[in-house]
A and B are shown apart, each in its own frame.
Chain A
Amino acid sequence: MKAARRVPLLKKMLAQLGIEEERVRLDWVSASEADRFASIVNEMTEQIKQLGPFNRNGGGNDG
């Protein structure tokens, strides 16, 4: 349950820091849901590929 509270708070903070929401995802999968697990991982991978590599400063310099 702690994770269910941590992740939304983390997402709010990451948004303030200019990180795309799509880079963080929390989902719940049972050990018996292999297909669901695989499809979520594939979805996430596809989404990150579309976003491209994470560039720390995204254009800011000197740092």
Chain B
Amino acid sequence: MAKPQVALYWAASCGGCDVAVLDTNEKILDIANIADIVFWPIALDFKYHHVEAMKDGAIDLCLFNGAVRSSEQEKIAKLLRAKSKVMVAFGACACFGGIPALANFTNRAGIFERAYIEAESNDNPDSTYPQTLVKVPEGELELPELYDTVLTLAQVVDVEYYVPGCPPPVDIILKTIDLFATGRLPPPGSVIASDKTLCDECDRIKGEKKITRIYRPHEITPDPERCLLEQGIICCGPVTRGGCGLRCIKANMPCRGCFGPPPGVTDQGAKLVSAIASIYQGESEEDIARMVEEIVDPAGTFYRFGLADSMLKRKRMQPPEGRA
């Protein structure tokens, strides 16, 4: 029997998800033993036209990492969807937008202004912006179009499975491959991780959740044994899916939420507003004002990985500013 065909792709991502696949170390050879990798831009020299030449459904499993924020990424997402039997949103960006989706606090015009005009290191006296089409003596040059809004993979194509994490930990990658190879994949729509919250899996000492001050991580050296939230550090553990192996917590850093919301939670950020405000002690107007001030950037902190997948999906821009 022919080996299953596997494709990997990166869209709006940092490359860390691809490195995580390589972090499986010698197990990568097992993956290569059970499957033929037919497309993997970061590692192998296959081109888009190789994928275009395949029959629909020829790829058995596609691990797609990165969010979708350009015309090229959308085109390849749709191409790979047509060619793949099973599409996996691989990593926090493909699942929830991830760090790139923080761009949803602005839009293309705002990004271009900052990156090509305002940035201190720029030398751009003619205010040149990237163009999708430029005529030069040799012909026309094309660039993909950058979108105003960063999208999750599932907002662009149908997705069968979600493998969260920034990046997905090695044990979950191997579990996904194993479930696929042995034909034991769960029902479509499943998230391949834990069904508990990170707090449920955390082994720190937990007492009564009452805090009187919020500390930013650089303002305090936390006790490595005790619950970080109880020490006044914003930890996304109560509103984040577990299964990550507590990587940040073991490094004495709070959870940033890269596994997305747990089952039953639609909006990770709104849930964390509720949780943090609940445990903060103080009833006077001054106490409440202090809490609001201490949480310097609630939207950026609570939707660090999940803005594209949140109820609002992006900052609401005032027209006509948003029309780029």
Mark A residues whose CB is within 8 Å of B. Answer: 1-2, 4-6, 8-10, 12-13, 16-19, 55-63
In the complex, the answer to whether B147 meets A17 with C-beta atoms within 8 Å is: no
Mark B residues whose CB is within 8 Å of A. Answer: 104-105, 107, 147-149, 151, 155, 269-270, 273-274, 276-278, 280, 282-283, 288-289, 291-292, 295, 297-300, 302, 312-324
In the complex, the answer to whether B289 meets A4 with C-beta atoms within 8 Å is: no
Residues of B within 8 A of A61 (CB): 147-149, 322-324
Out of A9, A17, A60, A62, name the residue touching B277 (CB < 8 Å).
A9
Cα–Cα distance between A59 and B106 once the two chains are bound (Å): 12
In the complex, the answer to whether A13 meets B302 with C-beta atoms within 8 Å is: yes
Cα–Cα distance between A3 and B141 once the two chains are bound (Å): 56
Residues of A within 8 A of B302 (CB): 13
Nearest residue, chain B, Cβ from A7: B277
In the complex, the answer to whether B315 meets A18 with C-beta atoms within 8 Å is: yes
In the complex, the answer to whether B151 meets A58 with C-beta atoms within 8 Å is: no
In the complex, the answer to whether B280 meets A5 with C-beta atoms within 8 Å is: yes
Out of A2, A12, A18, A62, name the residue touching B151 (CB < 8 Å).
A62
In the complex, the answer to whether A55 meets B299 with C-beta atoms within 8 Å is: no
In the complex, the answer to whether B315 meets A6 with C-beta atoms within 8 Å is: no
CB distance from A9 to the nearest CB of B (A): 5
A-B contact pairs, 15 of them (CB 8 A): A5-B278, A5-B280, A5-B288, A8-B288, A8-B291, A9-B273, A13-B273, A13-B299, A16-B297, A19-B316, A56-B312, A57-B313, A57-B314, A59-B321, A60-B107
Cα–Cα distance between A10 and B155 once the two chains are bound (Å): 26
In the complex, the answer to whether B318 meets A12 with C-beta atoms within 8 Å is: no
Residues of B within 8 A of A58 (CB): 316-319, 322
Cα–Cα distance between A59 and B317 once the two chains are bound (Å): 6
CB distance from A5 to the nearest CB of B (A): 4
Cα–Cα distance between A43 and B219 once the two chains are bound (Å): 43
Q: A18-B315, A60-B107 are in contact. Are A5 and B299 (CB under 8 A)?
A: no
Residues of B within 8 A of A1 (CB): 283
Q: A62-B147, A62-B148 are in contact. Are A8 and B289 (CB under 8 A)?
A: yes
In the complex, the answer to whether B298 meets A63 with C-beta atoms within 8 Å is: no
Out of B147, B298, B322, name the residue touching A13 (CB < 8 Å).
B298
Residues of A within 8 A of B300 (CB): 16
In the complex, the answer to whether B313 meets A63 with C-beta atoms within 8 Å is: yes
Out of A9, A10, A62, name the residue touching B291 (CB < 8 Å).
A9
Cα–Cα distance between A55 and B316 once the two chains are bound (Å): 8
Cα–Cα distance between A34 and B300 once the two chains are bound (Å): 40
Residues of B within 8 A of A6 (CB): 273-274, 277-278
CB distance from A8 to the nearest CB of B (A): 5
Residues of A within 8 A of B104 (CB): 63
Residues of A within 8 A of B322 (CB): 57-61
In the complex, the answer to whether B149 meets A63 with C-beta atoms within 8 Å is: yes
CB distance from A1 to the nearest CB of B (A): 5
Given known contacts A9-B295, A59-B322, what 20 new A-B pairs fall within 8 Å (CB)? A4-B288, A5-B278, A6-B277, A8-B289, A12-B292, A13-B273, A16-B300, A17-B312, A17-B316, A57-B313, A58-B318, A59-B318, A59-B321, A60-B107, A60-B149, A60-B316, A60-B322, A61-B324, A62-B148, A63-B149
